[in-house]
Amino acid sequence: MAFKDILLTLTSYPDPTPALVVEDAASIAAAFGAHLAAVACEAHVDIPGHFLSGSIADVPGMIAREADKSRRNAKDLLAAFDAAAEKAGLLHETYLEKCATFAVPDLLVDYARLRDLTIVPVPESYDQWYAETVIFGSGRPTLVLPESPRPRPFELKTVAVAWDFSRAASRAVSDAIPMLEKASKVRIVTVTNEKKLDSKHSAEELAKNLARHGIDVVLDKVDADGRPIGEVLEAYCVAHRVDVLVMGAYGHSRWREFVLGGATKSLLSKPPLPILFSH
């Protein structure tokens, strides 16, 4: 399946998504010749009535001001998105929604389930709840973009696949085929001595499968040497100037609290580069 319908999620509260994310999303959609949609939500803080009745502060006024701030941020973001998409010559559309802050992640999932790929920015200043919900709830691949400034703009020169012979990794490879076909170089990296691997089926066999898609790969093995898996993958990506990392997402939701696998938790909490997660 090609990436022909891409969604960008924009955060309006408490801080707006940086402009560089909008520019990256336009570049990604242009690379695939895809339609690009952006969704932003005017978020409203939901405070229990008993708190309002016992408070001496002007809580309703504070809530209204925060909602107004979110509304202005959302409209500004969508205007910037329109400008970037038009400059890139993309077919595009925007959605402005209204909902309580706690309901924003589920609203994004509703949109993401109807798209080939969803781009979710992850901020440094607060947790990655939105990204987690989309990754584990959409049933579609999710491209996580770090909001922090990066040394170079988004490119698809080198894409790396974290391969551990698992179901999640297999699904990630399948979901990433359109991206692997576009990349100038594809590297498959297997981290050894980190956990038991199914040695019956090698990375060489995956390389044969990808070759039938016209994708030539470089196979690498990296010894964990006692280091956390997230740290190993991050160091590998830096050393090989990787533009996008593809990996399976491990985790499950329990009472709306995500319990994440080691690599997923480490790389999602502060992504060092764009990462295509698949669950």
CATH number at residue 79: 3.40.50.620
Q: In terms of domains, do 176 and 81 share one?
A: no
Three-state DSSP class for 255? coil
Q: In terms of domains, do 173 and 215 share one?
A: yes
Helices of type H across the chain = 19-32, 49-53, 59-87, 104-112, 129-137, 167-182, 203-211, 229-239, 262-269
Least confident of 123-127, 232-236, 273-277: 123-127
Q: Say if CB 137 and CB 266 are below 8 A apart.
A: no
Question: Based on C-alpha coordinates, what's the Rg of the chain?
Answer: 20
Q: Say if CB 157 and CB 31 are below 8 A apart.
A: no
Three-state DSSP class for 20? helix
Q: In terms of domains, do 56 and 137 share one?
A: yes
Q: Which amino acid is at 217?
A: V
Residue of 128, 21, 13 lying closest to 73 (CA atoms): 13
Q: Say if CB 273 and CB 242 are below 8 A apart.
A: yes
pLDDT at 198 over 90: no
User: Domain boundary residue among 146, 172, 206?
Assistant: 146
Asked whether residue 216 is assigned to any structural domain, the reply reads yes
Q: In terms of domains, do 12 and 131 share one?
A: yes
Asked whether residue 267 is assigned to any structural domain, the reply reads yes
45-98 pLDDT, tens digit per residue, is: 766 554 445 555 666 777 788 888 999 999 999 999 999 999 999 999 999 999
Least confident of 49-53, 82-86, 105-109, 221-225: 49-53
Asked whether residue 46 is assigned to any structural domain, the reply reads yes
Q: What is the rounded end-to-end Cα distance, in angstroms, of the chain? A: 17
**Res. 150 pLDDT band, cuts 50 70 90:** confident
Residue of 27, 30, 38 lying closest to 75 (CA atoms): 38
State mean pLDDT over 188-205.
81
Between 83 and 202, whose confidence is greater?
A: 83
Q: In terms of domains, do 41 and 112 share one?
A: yes
Least confident of 25-29, 80-84, 267-271: 267-271
pLDDT at 137 over 70: yes
Q: In terms of domains, do 75 and 178 share one?
A: no
Q: Give me the phi and psi of 257, to 5 degrees please.
A: -115, 120
Q: In terms of domains, do 141 and 162 share one?
A: no
Least confident of 59-68, 94-103, 119-128, 253-262: 253-262
Q: Say if CB 191 and CB 162 are below 8 A apart.
A: yes
- Calculate the average pLDDT of the chain: 88
Least confident of 65-74, 202-211, 264-273: 264-273
Asked whether residue 218 is assigned to any structural domain, the reply reads yes
177-186 pLDDT, tens digit per residue, is: 999 999 999 9
The predicted structure's pLDDT at residue 255: 43
The predicted structure's pLDDT at residue 153: 77
Q: DSSP letter string over 98-141?
A: EEEGGGHHHHHHHHHTTSSEEEEEE-SSS--HHHHHHHHHSSS-
Rounded CA separation 227/78 (Å): 42
User: Domain boundary residue among 113, 146, 179?
Assistant: 146
Asked whether residue 153 is assigned to any structural domain, the reply reads no
The predicted structure's pLDDT at residue 256: 46
Please give the structure tokens belonging to residue 164.
């551990």
Q: In terms of domains, do 207 and 251 share one?
A: yes
State mean pLDDT over 208-228.
94
User: Domain boundary residue among 107, 122, 146?
Assistant: 146
Q: In terms of domains, do 31 and 100 share one?
A: yes
Asked whether residue 152 is assigned to any structural domain, the reply reads no
Residue of 36, 2, 43, 5 lying closest to 21 (CA atoms): 36
Q: In terms of domains, do 191 and 253 share one?
A: yes
Domain that holds residue 197: 158-278
Task: Report pTM.
Answer: 0.90
Q: In terms of domains, do 135 and 11 share one?
A: yes
Domain count, the chain: 2
Residue of 13, 27, 133, 32 lying closest to 77 (CA atoms): 13
Asked whether residue 114 is assigned to any structural domain, the reply reads yes
Asked whether residue 240 is assigned to any structural domain, the reply reads yes
Q: In terms of domains, do 174 and 98 share one?
A: no
The DSSP letter of residue 215 is: -
